[in-house]
Amino acid sequence: MAPRLPRSPTATLLLGLVVTLAMVVTCAWYISAQIAGLRRLQSDLADRNRRESLQLLRIQDDLNQLALAMRDMVDAPQAVAPGATGAEPAGTRYPLIAWRSQFDRIRTDLDAALKRQAEAAVTQRTPEQATYLASSVAQFWDASERIFDLAATGREADARAQIQISLQARQAALTSAVARLLVQNNAAAEQTAAQVQAIYWRVQQRVYIFLAATLLTIAATGIYLILANRRVFAELAALSDDRRDLARQLITARESTLREISRELHDEFGQLLTAMGSLLSRAGRHAAEGSPLRAELREVNEIAQSALDSVRALSQTLHPSILDELGLESAIDAYLATVERQLGLTVAYTRTGPPIAIDPAAGIHVYRVLQEALTNIARHADVHAAEVRLVTDAQRLELVVQDAGRGMVAEATHGVGLVGMRERAALVGGTLDVSSSTAGTTLRLSIPIRSSITNESRITNHDSRILNPES
C-alpha cells in the first residue's frame, strides 16, 4: 500500500484568502453605501432644511415689516408715509392710500419667499398644513386690497377700523403660523442630525464587526499557515536527516569498499606481481647472456614491473595508505606531487599553522574534497595552475583551493561533485563555501578538529559494524 501523502494547505489558504477578500469588499461596499446615504441625507434634508429656515425667516421679517406699517397707519396721530419729508402741518393724518406702494413691495418679496420655501420644504405636513400659509397670505392681501379700496373712496375711518379688526389679526395669525413652521423646521433639523449620528454610530459598529471578523479570519489563516509550515519544515527536517544518514552510509560504504579494494590490489596483486618479477629475474639469470630468451624474460619482467607500478598507483588513488600510516598532511604532500603528472596542473601549496593529528576516518574526507576540487579545476576551469592552502590552529582546519579560471556557471553550483563535497564536510561537522566569479573560483573547507575526530570515528565504527556484522 502506497504511503499516504500529507494534505496540501493550499486549498485552505486559498479559502481563507477568498473569505478575507470577500469580507473586505463587503465592508468597503457597506461603508460606501452608508457614506452615499449620509451624503444624500445631508444634501437632500439638511441643506433643504437650512434653505427653508432662511425663507421662513425672510417671511417672518416681511410680516414684521407689515406689522410695523399697520401700527403706523392706525396708531400715529400724524402718520408719516414712506418717503415723506415730515413738513406736513401738525394734526393731519397722512392718507392710507400712500402706504400701498410699501405693501406692494413687501407683497412681491413675500410671494417670492413663499415660493422658495415651498420648493425647499422637507417637513412632512398634511395637505391642509401645506396650503394654510399660502391661503392665509392670499386672504391677507385680499383684505388689504379692500382696505386700500375703502381708503381710495375717502372712507379712511372705516379702512383704519378694518386694519384693526381684520388685517392686524390676520398678520398675527400668519406670524404665529410662520413661527410654528420654524419650530417644526428646527425639530426636523434636530431629527436629521440625530439620524446622521445614528447612521454614523451604526456604520462604526459595523466597521468594528467587519474589522474583528477580518482580523479573526486573518489570524486563523495565519495560525493555520504557521502550523502547516511547521509540519512541512518538520517533514523536511526528517527528510534531510534521512538523506544525511543515507549519504553518510553511502560515503562510508564507498570508502570502506575502496579501502578493501585498495588493500586487495596492494596485498594480493602487488605481491603476485612482485613474485612474478622475482621469478622472471631469477629465470633470466639462468638464461645465457645475449640469448633471445633472456631478452624476452627481461621484457616480461619490465611489463610486470610496470603493471606493479600501475596497481600501486591505482591502490593509492582508491585509498591512500599513507593517510593511515603517516597522516593527512603527508597524504596531501604525496598526492600533490602526482597532480601535475595525472591532471596537468601546477599546484602552489602553502602550509600554515602547527602540525595536527587527525583521525584517518575524518582525514579521508578532507583528502577527497581536495581530489574533487583539483579534478574540477582540471576539467572545467580552463587553467593549468591552482593554489592550495592548508591552515590549522588548535581548534580548526581550513583547506582552501583557488584558481584563476573562468568561474562556475549557476548550474554547476548544484552539481553532484559539490553536493558530495558538502556531504563530506557535514559528516565531520564542517562547512564548505564556494565563491565563483569571472576572476576564478575559491573553495573553502573548514572543520573543527576535535569534534571531527570524535564524530567521524564514532560514525565510521558504527557503519563498519553495519557493513561487516560478522566482525
243 within some domain: no
Question: In this structure, are residues 358 and 366 in contact, taking their beta carbons and an 8 Å threshold?
Answer: yes
User: What is residue 391's predicted lDDT score, i.e. its pLDDT?
Assistant: 92
d(CA 354, CA 364): 20
Q: 248: Cβ–Cβ under 8 A, 6 or more apart, which residues?
A: 423, 427, 459, 463
Question: In this structure, are residues 12 and 224 in contact, taking their beta carbons and an 8 Å threshold?
Answer: yes
Asked whether residue 166 falls in the same domain as residue 32, the answer is: yes
Q: Which three cell numbers stand for residue 373?
A: 576540487
362 within some domain: yes
Q: 167: helix, coil or strand?
A: helix
Asked whether residue 210 falls in the same domain as residue 332, the answer is: no
236 within some domain: no
Asked whether residue 207 falls in the same domain as residue 355, the answer is: no
pLDDT digits (tens, 9 = 90+) for 100-146: 889 999 989 988 988 888 877 765 566 676 677 788 888 889 888 88
For 169-184, what is the mean pLDDT? 86
Asked whether residue 216 falls in the same domain as residue 343, the answer is: no
pLDDT surpasses 70 at 271: yes
User: What is residue 90's predicted lDDT score, i.e. its pLDDT?
Assistant: 43
Report the Cα 96 to chain-centroid distance in Å. 86
**Of 224, 242, 260, which residue sits at a domain end?**
224
Asked whether residue 42 falls in the same domain as residue 161, the answer is: yes
pLDDT digits (tens, 9 = 90+) for 58-87: 888 988 998 888 888 887 554 455 554 444
Report the Cα 355 to chain-centroid distance in Å. 53
User: What is residue 3's predicted lDDT score, i.e. its pLDDT?
Assistant: 47
**Of 199, 224, 249, which residue sits at a domain end?**
224
What does the mean pLDDT of the chain come to?
A: 78
CATH number at residue 365: 3.30.565.10
User: What is residue 407's predicted lDDT score, i.e. its pLDDT?
Assistant: 76
Residue 397 bridge partners (DSSP): 392, 447
User: What is residue 400's predicted lDDT score, i.e. its pLDDT?
Assistant: 93
Report the Cα 6 to chain-centroid distance in Å. 27
Backbone angles phi, psi at 406, to 5 degrees: -85, 0
For 440-456, what is the mean pLDDT? 72
pLDDT digits (tens, 9 = 90+) for 177-190: 888 888 888 887 78
Phi-psi sector, 39: left (phi>0), alpha (psi -120 to 50), beta: alpha
Q: Which domain holds residue 332?
A: 321-471
74 within some domain: yes
**Of 224, 244, 262, which residue sits at a domain end?**
224
Dump strand ranges (E) for 194-317.
Answer: none
188 within some domain: yes
CB atoms within 10 A of CB 25: 10
Asked whether residue 347 falls in the same domain as residue 214, the answer is: no
Asked whether residue 204 falls in the same domain as residue 342, the answer is: no
Split into its structural domains, the chain has a count of 2
d(CA 88, CA 380): 129
pLDDT digits (tens, 9 = 90+) for 324-379: 788 888 888 888 888 888 888 889 999 998 887 888 888 888 888 998 899 888 88
For 435-449, what is the mean pLDDT? 87
Asked whether residue 336 falls in the same domain as residue 441, the answer is: yes
269 within some domain: no
Q: 397: helix, coil or strand?
A: strand
Asked whether residue 208 falls in the same domain as residue 330, the answer is: no
Asked whether residue 185 falls in the same domain as residue 328, the answer is: no
Asked whether residue 187 falls in the same domain as residue 51, the answer is: yes
286 within some domain: no
242 within some domain: no
In this structure, what DSSP letter does residue 8 have?
P
pTM score > 0.75 for this model? Answer: no
